[in-house]
Amino acid sequence: MSYLLPLFVHLLCAAFWVGGMALMHFAVRPAAVATLEPPLRLRMMAATLRRFFVGVDASVTLLFVTGVAMILATGGFRGVHWRVEAMMGLAIVMAAIYVYIRASVFRAMRRAVDDGAWPVAAGRLDLVRKLVSLNLVLGVAVFAVAVLGRG
């Protein structure tokens, strides 16, 4: 049980984060572009991202906590399989990108939305989209390493 509960939480958090990025990228944003004028779209996306990021904050934290817990439960960092090192490295890059989005780009987007500076807000949202696309690719790579690296 000392390994299974962290594994369950770890997988749940990874699914939330990567699945949420896919939902935002492939469904929510395109639907907003197709149906809403820029001021409404930017307000809706800012509100949606704000709510999503609360869950991502928790997920990223729990991913690192449970990842380290599972490593410690299986003997520690010495001698971990290459795929664990690869997943940890990718996770650090993904977390750094997320922190940049959350602390800088999204903050600037929200400020621009609050000020009614729609072109600035649109530019910041586009940068969020590009960075989320990168993180989505990295997240899929983590899943691939986790599963295909077992061979």
Sites in the chain below the pLDDT cut of 50: none
Is 131 within 8 Å of 56 (Cβ atoms)?
no
Q: According to the model, what pLDDT value does residue 1 have? A: 58
Task: Give the whole-angstrom CA distance, residue 47 versus residue 27.
Answer: 16
At residue 140, φ and ψ (nearest 5 deg) are: -65, -35
- What percentage of residues in the chain have a pLDDT greater than 70? 99
Q: According to the model, what pLDDT value does residue 3 have? A: 86
Is 140 within 8 Å of 89 (Cβ atoms)?
no
For 3, 13, 70, the CA distances from 62, given in Å and listed in that order, are: 14, 7, 12
Token pair for 82: 């290459």
